[in-house]
Amino acid sequence: MADELKELEQEQQEVVILEKDMDINEDIIPIESPEDNQAPITPQQEEALEEPEEISHKPKFKFDKKLIMLIASGLFCIILLIILAIMAFTSKDEESEPILPTQANPIIPPTITQKFQSSKIDSMLIKANKLYESGNKIEALKLYENIAVYNESLSKYNLGVSKMNQGLYKEAIETFKEAIANNENITVSAINIAVCALEIKDEELFKYYIDLANAFINRDSDVNLYEFYNALVNYYRGFYIEALHTLDLSDSKYYTSQKEYLKSKILSYLHEDKEAIKAIKAVEDYDINLPLGLLHARLGEYKEAKQYLNKALVDEKNAPSTYLAISLIDIKTGEFASAATTLKMLNDYNSTFVKDTYPIKAILNPELFDINLAQQNYDMNIFFDQNSLYQILFYFTPYKAFDPKQTIEYIRKGGLSLFVDENSVANEYLQTSGIVSKANVMLSNAILKALNNQLREANSDFLEIIKLYPNHSILQFNLALTFAQLGDFAQAYKHFVTSYHLDTSNYIAGAYAIMAAKMIGKDAKRLTNEILDSMGLDSNLDQDNIYKAMIQLTQGNESALNSWLDKNKNDTVLDTVFNIITAYITNRSEVIIPATDILNQKLPNDVLVNIIYSATRFDSQNIKNYAKDIQTKFLTTKLDKGALYGGATIIRTQYIKLLQIAGLLHKERENIVSDLKVSTQNTKDILYTLAYLDLFTGHYEEAYTIYNELINNENIDDANTLFLASVASIGANHPDSAIGYLELSKLTNPTYAESRLALGLLYQEVGNIDAAITQYNGLGNSGYKSKFFTFKLE
């Protein structure tokens, strides 16, 4: 008799899996299930659910008085038992109902429903009648009793499901309790009470009934759905490994899609996202576009993620959360204007929706302090992204002088003369006024500081000289070059443009103005056309010149770059460096190695030259051996360490990144601390480098203190320094200071992308979506990726 009931139960049971919780950082967003996922009953299943009837030579149905009396007595037993069961449960419920708090995490467990065909109950009644008629009265009465109790339980159970679907969770709980009181369907009823408890945010009630389901689960150990029940209970108790193991053991043909969906959920909790994708692709009864999109997004496969999420938008109920997920991917991929448009639409729809649905937290990029992650994600693009390529060119570009011979004689230091343009000349005014010598001495002194790794002092000197001779292209160019090397590309753009317009034959100033414009997101189409037209009209200019090739670099014209490489010009350091850059862009590996060898021979102790030499020999197949090669080179080569302290920004950033890959950051930090103890002259430059390195070694509080000192007492308050202070503030858990520094950074340089993005993330974190939208719109669909900031979902 129990077998008939159990088989009846497992055939007609319908299970719909929803999400365990709404923690969108880790899990799949809830999707709507079909209203009825019940599989059709095959004739074979139908036959299996019915017990073979006893063979009798008597007519099956004989409506005589005896049979009528038997049926009447059976019905009377059923009614009596129903009344007794209700009375017993009412008494039990009053005594044992727990008094629990009403607060709980917003978790949505599974909805499990049962549907029973009346014909099956009828067949069971017929069987009981036959037993009674054949004289087996005790067995017949037991079956009558079980049918009565079970039918009452089913009625209560399905009523509870109905109330759940209407959102009447408290009423549903009471109804499920009545079903449990009949001592049948305890497991699934208890799970559904847990569902309701969490819907009304009663976590303790949830725990009570999920534990109750676990206590009674073994009652169903002999039914086909036992493994599925067990997996569900373990899943909602947080025992993911056990739940996954149970699902793997299950060979039941029932609810295959639901089991694969649950398996995918568990795998996603365990961060086995690729396996979760495999599991969810086996699901047939649900729309899987939304969870697939989110899983691909977690893997960083944003293109695939957006494809699935766009398909998921047909589900109007979940469309807002899907749009929000797409906007977060847009932020990750640098499509900030698109993200801003979507965020505005959602914020207009509901001003708290963005923060409530997908709360984010601005964090430092994990690669800053995780050597394994840094090595895993390392490739040549880290050193040869667009901005780095331009900065490398700025670094190796010679300064201009009024009297190059006098300046070179003044410098008198081996190798540094390579960084003075021997072809530069003073303008006619200075030549005729007789003050060339005086002006050139001032200029030479500033150049010497720049080449002796006193770049900030050189920048200050050039600013003073500009006040005396504001309309000279050479002075504007040199000033622009120091700004570019210091990382202030907005100021660099301003002075490169001025330099070019003061002397339209100063084509390198024009080319560099275009590069600086690219770095700050400024449209330079008109300037580009103007310079190219001017070159075309210059009869004294070789049309196959490096300046035109530099402009083609900014336009991504690989054909023109290949033509330049074919000329094989290596006359100057700048020629050689430009060849390395163009060979990298055009994948001309046969050019890169010989060119870096030439560069290394010319400047063997230059830090950036050694960085380029190592970077171009990167072995993607064996990062550990590559790291050891870096260690050997940088520990045995006598480098000009002064450039690390007071030289160009590109040296500091690339040197520290390379040492991070090699695992030498902490050793280098010890060296810098030692240098700081004995230094008497360039203390603030050493402090600046130490603070920057501290960001990568996790010494955030020390970095925060140093940046405060440099900004407030040493007046080093350019946009980049202010931004780095904000990075230290976030790391040291001073968020208010971080926002203050970012606002100052943006005021100092409104085009500074790092500050804009960080502000956007912080504003979105606190729910100021309008302010975040403003920052994102300012970045546009630039594809910009911050080296320091990213976000995670709360």
Instruction: Kindly report, residue by residue over 496-536, the tens digit of the pLDDT.
Output: 999 999 999 999 999 999 999 999 889 999 999 999 999 99
And the tokens for 489?
Answer: 């590309």
d(CA 703, CA 694): 6
Count Cα neighbours of 681 within 13 Å in the Cβ-side half-sphere.
Answer: 7
Question: In DSSP terms, which residues pair with 363 in a beta bridge?
Answer: 790
User: pTM of the prediction?
Assistant: 0.72
430: number of Cβ within 10 Å: 20
Contacts of 557 (CB under 8 A, 6+ apart): none
d(CA 474, CA 400): 6
d(CA 194, CA 201): 10
Ranges of residues in the chain with a pLDDT under 50 are 1-18, 20-119, 413-415, 417, 425-434
Contact between residue 285 and residue 304 where contact means Cβ atoms under 8 Å apart? no
Contact between residue 724 and residue 738 where contact means Cβ atoms under 8 Å apart? no
Contact between residue 89 and residue 163 where contact means Cβ atoms under 8 Å apart? no
Q: Where are the alpha helices (DSSP H) in 452-506?
A: 455-468, 473-486, 489-502
- Phi then psi dihedrals of residue 413, to 5 deg: -140, 125
Which helix (H) or strand (E) segment holds residue 689: the answer is helix 683-697
Query: What number of helices (H) and strands (E) belong to the chain?
Result: 42, 6
Contact between residue 612 and residue 598 where contact means Cβ atoms under 8 Å apart? no
Contact between residue 794 and residue 367 where contact means Cβ atoms under 8 Å apart? no
Interhelix angle 386-396/473-486, rounded to 10 degrees, is 130
- Phi then psi dihedrals of residue 15, to 5 deg: -120, 125
Residue type, 380: M
- Phi then psi dihedrals of residue 362, to 5 deg: -70, 130
Quickly list DSSP for 137-195.
HHHHHHHHHHHHHHHHHHHHHHHHHHHHHTT-HHHHHHHHHHHHHTTSSHHHHHHHHHH
Instruction: Give the pLDDT score at 369.
Output: 79
Instruction: Give the pLDDT score at 27.
Output: 37
d(CA 530, CA 533): 5
Instruction: Give the pLDDT score at 424.
Output: 53
Instruction: Give the pLDDT score at 126.
Output: 65
Instruction: Give the pLDDT score at 146.
Output: 64
